[in-house]
Amino acid sequence: MDPHSLAQRERHALCDLFLEADPHTPVLCEGWVAYDLAAHLWVRDTDPLAGVGIAVPALLGWLTDARIARARRLHTYPDLVARVRKGPPALLRPADELINTLEYLIHHEDLRRGESFDVPGREQTEADDAEIMSRLVGLARLQLRSRQVRTVLLDERSGRQIVVGKGPELVTVTGRPTELALYAFGRARAAHLRVERTVD
């Protein structure tokens, strides 16, 4: 793993924030607190079956939620944070940037904004913004494909656009790439964005 990659920087920044936060601090993931989020990240990094549960909603409770609950029973909060900081096992490390860049970016914001939506957005470098937009293309199409509208995610600084979906209604969502990622992943209520709707 590249220690300077965005994925690794977000991982370590999130772990630092975990240690500053109370384990029972709410996060944006509905019904979860910081302890649950740390358990989720460790389970996701180390348990392939949990990944199946995340990908297949019908199996979420049986495979993933049960493993998160077990992780909480077996490990203290500081121990889970230390395990998350170590990263995935060696076999998965070559894919770290692919599978974890947006995961850790989003979950970092889940903890930052869990208690208040008024938390200001973070300033990212142009290079980090470009990477977020590049990685968001496929995932935004996956996350937003079921909507019966055309959605344009517009980076307000670079002007880069991601267009998803079809339909007579057009929704243009303008903001910085981190905020657009929050929108695409169902955290619109906590994101700093401008949303405009038009109909052809």
Q: What is the CATH number of the domain that holds 158?
A: 3.30.1050.20
Q: Are residues 18 and 87 in the same domain?
A: yes
* 120 within some domain: no
Whether the CB-CB separation of 29 and 108 falls below 8 Å is answered with no
Q: Are residues 103 and 190 in the same domain?
A: no
* Predicted pLDDT of residue 90: 85
How far apart CA 53 and CA 62 sit, in angstroms, is: 8
Q: Are residues 157 and 64 in the same domain?
A: no
* Predicted pLDDT of residue 18: 98
Q: Are residues 104 and 10 in the same domain?
A: yes
* 64 within some domain: yes
Q: Are residues 48 and 95 in the same domain?
A: yes
pLDDT tens, the chain, 200 aa long: 787 899 999 999 999 999 999 999 999 998 999 999 999 999 989 876 655 445 545 444 555 678 889 999 999 999 999 999 999 888 888 888 999 999 999 999 999 999 998 899 999 999 999 999 999 999 898 888 878 889 999 999 999 999 998 888 999 999 999 999 999 999 999 999 999 998 86
Into how many domains does the chain fold? 2
* Predicted pLDDT of residue 65: 79
* Predicted pLDDT of residue 120: 93
Angle at CA 99, nearest 5°, toward 182 and 65? 75
Max Cα distance, the chain (Å): 55
Q: Are residues 92 and 139 in the same domain?
A: no
How far apart CA 105 and CA 114 sit, in angstroms, is: 14
Helix axes 66-74, 34-46, angle to 10 degrees: 110
Boundary residue ending a domain (112, 144, 177): 112
Range(s) of the domain holding residue 170: 126-199
The radius of gyration of the chain's CA atoms, rounded to the nearest angstrom, is: 17
* Predicted pLDDT of residue 166: 85
**This prediction's pTM:** 0.90
Q: Are residues 143 and 186 in the same domain?
A: yes
* 179 within some domain: yes
* Predicted pLDDT of residue 63: 57
Boundary residue ending a domain (112, 135, 152): 112
* 117 within some domain: no
